[in-house]
Structure 1
Amino acid sequence: MSFQAHITRFISLALVMLGLSGCSLLNFDSVQDPEVHLLKVEVIKARLTHQDFKLYFEVDNPNDSRLLVRGLNYKIMLNEEMLAEGKSSDWFFVDGDSRKTLLISVRTNLWQHARYIARLLKKPDQTIHYQLEGKLKTGILFHHNVRILRSGDVIPGDLIKDRR
């Protein structure tokens, strides 16, 4: 091997080592995952064959740096019965230490669940378990998917205003 080949090999190896040591200086442990909450469900149209809703999600960025969101996949369940699922491919930034609201339009057919929902509403004082699960896609160079799992209970009687 010639002297020039040795020098080229040495410089290439030195650059690779410097590049790897630079990656180790980046502290990925201090970056916290963003939080996602379902703020509100707004009924737009409710017809027998289909229903249109707007889902308002809040993306909370607890970090100092700006966060790129590349989309959201979600699924909403009531007592293990899937009510709606879908995805948003909207890209947007959430500034550091701030929140941004993501609006998603959903069309679903609750007719197939009409008996089940009617059965649940016959007992307005009985709790109904709900669950939101999904995946928030973030990052452009380093893709990162944040898993979302929120659940709780709701009492239909508390939501019905004109109960007698």
Structure 2
Amino acid sequence: MEEQMRRILLVTSIMAMAGCSALGKQALKDPVVTLADVKVTGVGLNGGALDVVLNVQNPNDFRLDATQLKYQVLVDTVPFANGITTQRFTVEGKRSQQVHIPINFTYAGVGQAGRQLMNTGSVNYTVKGDVTVGSPIGNLTVPFSQTGRYSTLGGYSR
């Protein structure tokens, strides 16, 4: 009888923990990642360097600790840059944090999209990837994607 009570208690405890975990994941709101800025930090004979600034917004009441951010930047539909940054950052609850990603590029890699920017002064872009954050209920990897149009005269439109 005592063994049966232990089993019932064990099964009940496991079910309660699983239920709390599922409820916690439903209560967690995904962080929102958007493109904030792109700055040219260097230009050379074969290419240049950019500082891509992403804005990470935390809609939750608790802080999120980011451990990794994977990204891909497309200019028009042409892959421009991609990578992974393991630069850790924290986004407090109901706050935003800017993340700077240094990107090197070659003129050959820009191709048609670069010519379009030179000719028309604007080009479509996409920034996408995922960010891995730690939270009170464990690690979570959240995808993000933003498209818009960049103009050398007017900046960004989304």
TM-score band w.r.t. shorter chain: 0.7 to 0.9
| Partner SS, residue 142 of structure 2 | strand
Give the gaps of 5 or more residues in structure 2: none
Q: Residue in 2 aligned with 1:47?
A: 44
Residue type matched to 1:91 in 2? R
Q: Residue in 2 aligned with 1:112?
A: 109
Residue type matched to 2:124 in 1? H
Tell me, in whole angstroms, the C-alpha distance in 1 between the residues paired with 2:105 and 2:51.
Answer: 11
Tell me, in whole angstroms, the C-alpha distance in 1 between the residues paired with 2:154 and 2:95.
Answer: 32
Tell me, in whole angstroms, the C-alpha distance in 1 between the residues paired with 2:99 and 2:50.
Answer: 14
Give the gaps of 5 or more residues in structure 1: 1-5, 160-164
| Partner SS, residue 69 of structure 2 | strand
Q: TM-score, normalised by structure 1?
A: 0.78
Contact preservation (8 Å) 2:76, 2:113: no
Q: TM-score, normalised by structure 2?
A: 0.81
Contact preservation (8 Å) 1:83, 1:110: no
Q: Residue in 2 aligned with 1:30?
A: 27
Superposed, 1:135-146 pairs within 5 Å as 135-139=130-134, 142-146=138-142
Bigger proportion of residues as strand = 2
- Identity across matched positions, percent: 20
My pick for the range that moved more, 7-16 or 133-142, is 7-16
Q: Write out per-residue CA displacement over residues 93-132 of structure 1, whole angstroms, 9 at most, x where no aligned residue.
A: 21111111111212222233345522442234xx632111
Asked if 1:149 corresponds to 2:145, the answer is yes
Note closer, same or farther for the CA distance 1:13–1:92 as it changes in structure 2 (3 Å cut).
farther
Tell me, in whole angstroms, the C-alpha distance in 1 between the residues paired with 2:86 and 2:106.
Answer: 22
Q: How many aligned residue pairs are there? A: 152
Contact preservation (8 Å) 1:76, 1:133: yes
Which one of 61, 64, 69 corresponds to residue 66 of structure 2?
A: 69
Tell me, in whole angstroms, the C-alpha distance in 1 between the residues paired with 2:120 and 2:81.
Answer: 23
Contact preservation (8 Å) 2:60, 2:93: yes
Q: Write out per-residue CA displacement over residues 5-62 of structure 1, whole angstroms, 9 at most, x where no aligned residue.
A: x745642552342132133135222221000111111211111223122111111000
